[in-house]
Structure 1
């Protein structure tokens, strides 16, 4: 009797473990790209900076190097840690392919949307009043559309603009980070 109960318990554990592993593999397969905060080397500054990066099957792509302290208490590392997961969230909810600049609660933001003229779905980053949201949006668009080589170096009455992004092309063709 004890052997039978042990066998049933063991079989149940194996089935539960297989189910959990299959679910984990399915989630990882659905999320082909992983956006995260890491470190990136800037050769001109001869220094490493926190960076929003994308992990692909080809390697790592650096999207934003966080070099500037915007607000006391918001170090480049903190900005990187807080903003990088937003790129993953936007990717997961299918909106990272349409980005725009907008104002939310009186603050300029870069965000994603589901359609032209649509509201923000995921706020990627809140900007400082001195930031030119259109310039940052253009830089981000150029990075995501492979028109600019290298990351945005966030060290820097505007109309709202929408940009379509070919995320698959970016992940297939963007230059990979060179490890140092």
Structure 2
């Protein structure tokens, strides 16, 4: 189980925008802090954990660099109105998770959030991401068009498990 580390500085803003950033989280299994992509959800006055970066599979990036880069991609997609759905696809012969504005859109370099390991199944990675964000409670929230899975980000944020809340909030 991951919990927010005491040294993690998680800032909130006065705006109503979701904010994505990389922060350290404590992982009990290896008993160490690891980087994690976190989202501040203003409507819920709390933070949710999206991805804990434990793998060093992608040798060009260390875990911290990957966390920073992916957190920025989530933030950019959100600011550009492309973070309505998460889906998967292939870009440059790599399996990827991407952000799209509408169902039916395909993954491409411009909307790619992160690459997954070649041996992983992209639909399982997406389902796993849903489970992690929801704290493994409740049914996954996804919509599909044919065989393609599209996860509603707004619903995901609405039902996600809060890992820390702003003081004074209910």
SS of equivalent residue, structure 1 residue 87: helix
The counterpart of 1:162, out of the listed 137, 150, 155, is 150
C-alpha distance in 1 between matches for 2:29 and 2:164: 15
Deviation at 1:81, TM superposition (A): 1.2
Residue by residue over 1:82-131, the C-alpha shift from the partner in whole angstroms, topping out at 9 and shown as x without a partner, is 11111111221223231111011211110011222212362110122122
C-alpha distance in 2 between matches for 1:107 and 1:168: 27
Q: Following superposition of structure 1 onto structure 2, how do residues 30-179 of structure 1 map, counting pairs within 5 Å?
A: 32-57=17-42, 58-120=45-107, 122-144=111-133, 146=134, 148=136, 160-165=148-153, 166-170=155-159, 174-177=161-164
Structure with greater strand share of residues: 2
What TM-score, normalized by structure 1, do the two folds share? 0.66
Unaligned stretches of 5+ residues in structure 2:
1-12, 138-146, 166-170
SS of equivalent residue, structure 2 residue 117: coil
Structure with greater helix share of residues: 1
Aligned residue in 2 for 1:11: none
- How many residues align? The count is 139
Q: CA RMSD in A?
A: 2.5
Residue by residue over 1:4-45, the C-alpha shift from the partner in whole angstroms, topping out at 9 and shown as x without a partner, is xxxxxxxxxxxxxxxxxxxxxxx9625x22101110011232
SS of equivalent residue, structure 1 residue 44: coil
C-alpha distance in 1 between matches for 2:56 and 2:32: 16
Larger Rg: 1
